[in-house]
C-alpha cells in the first residue's frame, strides 16, 4: 500500500507540472516507479512482462495499463499508470496527461493491466 501511495503522489506531482516530464510512455512509467523505489525495465514490451496480469475490472491505483494503438495482433504498444476512477496517466502525443479509459479512442484499445506493486 505504501508503494501505491508513492506512485500516486509521484504521478500527481508530474501532472501538476507536465512540462517537467520529457519522456515517452514507457519512460514515464519507469521514471514514476523509480521515484517509488521500484525498478522497471525501459521498454513497453519488457514492462508488459512484469508483475501479474489483471483484467480491467480488477485495476487498482498504481497498476500498469497496456494498450494496442495500431492493431498489431494484441501486442502492447502503449502503457500508462492507473490512477483510479477509470483514468490513467501517460505521456501521449499531446504530452503528459490524464486519460479517461472510457473515451471512445481508448476504450476499445485496452489490452490488460499488470500489477507490479
For residue 71, give Cα distances in angstroms to 19, 67, 101: 30, 10, 18
- Given a cut of 90, is residue 21 above it in pLDDT? no
The predicted structure's pLDDT at residue 19: 81
Domain with 67 in it: what CATH number?
3.90.1720.10
Going by the DSSP 8-state scheme, the letter that residue 29 receives in this structure is H
- Given a cut of 80, is residue 70 above it in pLDDT? yes
The whole-angstrom distance between residue 59's C-alpha and the CA centroid of its chain comes to 11
Number of domains the chain is built from: 1
The predicted structure's pLDDT at residue 68: 97
The predicted structure's pLDDT at residue 72: 73
Can you give the pTM of this predicted structure?
0.95
3-state secondary structure (DSSP) of residue 6: helix
The predicted structure's pLDDT at residue 20: 80
State the cell numbers at 115. Answer: 500489477
- The dihedral sign for the CA sequence 34, 52, 98, 109: positive
State the residue range of the domain holding 33.
2-115
- Given a cut of 90, is residue 73 above it in pLDDT? no
- Strands, E, within 31-102: which ranges? 52-54, 64-67, 78-84, 87-92, 95-100
Amino acid at each position: 500500500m505504501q508503494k501505491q501511495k508513492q506512485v500516486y503522489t509521484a504521478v500527481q506531482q508530474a501532472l501538476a507540472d507536465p512540462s517537467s516530464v520529457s519522456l515517452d510512455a514507457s519512460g514515464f512509467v519507469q521514471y514514476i516507479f523509480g521515484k517509488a523505489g521500484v525498478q522497471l525495465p525501459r521498454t513497453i514490451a519488457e514492462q508488459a512482462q512484469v508483475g501479474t496480469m489483471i483484467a480491467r475490472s480488477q485495476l487498482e491505483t498504481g497498476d500498469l495499463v497496456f494498450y494496442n494503438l495500431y492493431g498489431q495482433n494484441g501486442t502492447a504498444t502503449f502503457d500508462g499508470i492507473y490512477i483510479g476512477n477509470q483514468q490513467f496517466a501517460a505521456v501521449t502525443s499531446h504530452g503528459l496527461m490524464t486519460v479517461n479509459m472510457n473515451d471512445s479512442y481508448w476504450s476499445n484499445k485496452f489490452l490488460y493491466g499488470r500489477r507490479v506493486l
